[in-house]
Amino acid sequence: NTMEQLAEVSAHIRTKKIRQLMIDGVQFIHPSTVHIDFDVEIGVGSVIYPNVTLLGKTKIGDRVVLESGAFVKNSIVYNDVEILANSYLEEALVHEEATIGPMARLRPGADIGPESKIGNYVEVKKSKLAKGVKVSHLSYVGDAEIGENTNVGCGFITCNYDGVNKHKTKIGSNTFIGSDVQMVAPIEVGNDAFVAAGSTITKSIPDGGFGKI
C-alpha cells in the first residue's frame, strides 16, 4: 500500500522474470541492475549487459547483444542485432544483423533494415531504411525512405519540416551521400546517385545523377 511496498513487489517480479529468462538461455551480465517489464520477450543466446532497461511490449530476438545503458521501449529487435551502449529505442523495428549505436536514438516509426548500421549520435524518426544502409555519424533522418546499400556521410540532415507540415525524403539504392549534406523535403534522389559533401539539395536528383550546391 506504499511506494516502498510497490518497489519491493516490482523487484520481486523482475527477479522472477530474469531467472526464468536465464533458465531459457538468456545471459545477464549483472541481473540486479536490469529493469525489465513482465511482458518483454527475449530470445535464446541473447546477452544483456548491466543497466539495460526493457519496457512495454518489447520483443528481442535470438543472439541479440544489448550493451550497458540501452533503453528499449515497445520495440521489436530481430535476431543477431547489436544495440550498443546508451542507445534509445522507442516503437522502433530493427531487422536481422543490424547494428545500432553507440548513443543512437530510434524514435517511433524507425524501421531499420537487415545489416544496416545506425552509428553514434544518429537520430531516426518515422523512416524506413532498406538492407545494408549505413548512417554512421551525427545525422538526423526523419520522414524518409532510403534504399539498399546507400551510404550516408557524417552530418546529414533531412530538412523535413517547413514550419507547418512534415515532408518526405526518398533516396534510392546504391547512392552515396557526402558529409554535411542537407536535403530540403519533399525531395527524391534516385539509384546510383552521388551527392557531394557540403551540399544543400533543394531539387530532385535522377538515377545516376550528381548533386552539388
List 30, 35, 95, 137, catalytic entry: 137
C-beta of residue 80 within 8 angstroms of C-beta of residue 64: yes
C-beta of residue 164 within 8 angstroms of C-beta of residue 145: no
Cell of 134: 549505413
Cell of 96: 536481422
Confirm whether 35 is a catalytic residue.
Answer: no
- Please tell me whether residue 23 adopts helix, strand or coil conformation: helix
- Distance between CA 199 and CA 98 in Å, rounded? 28
Cell of 98: 543490424
In one-letter notation, the amino acid at residue 44 is V
To the nearest 10°, report the CA torsion of 53, 59, 65, 70: -20
Burial label for 1, CB within 10 Å (0-12, 13-18, 19+), is exposed
In one-letter notation, the amino acid at residue 198 is G
C-beta of residue 15 within 8 angstroms of C-beta of residue 33: no
Annotated catalytic residues are: 137
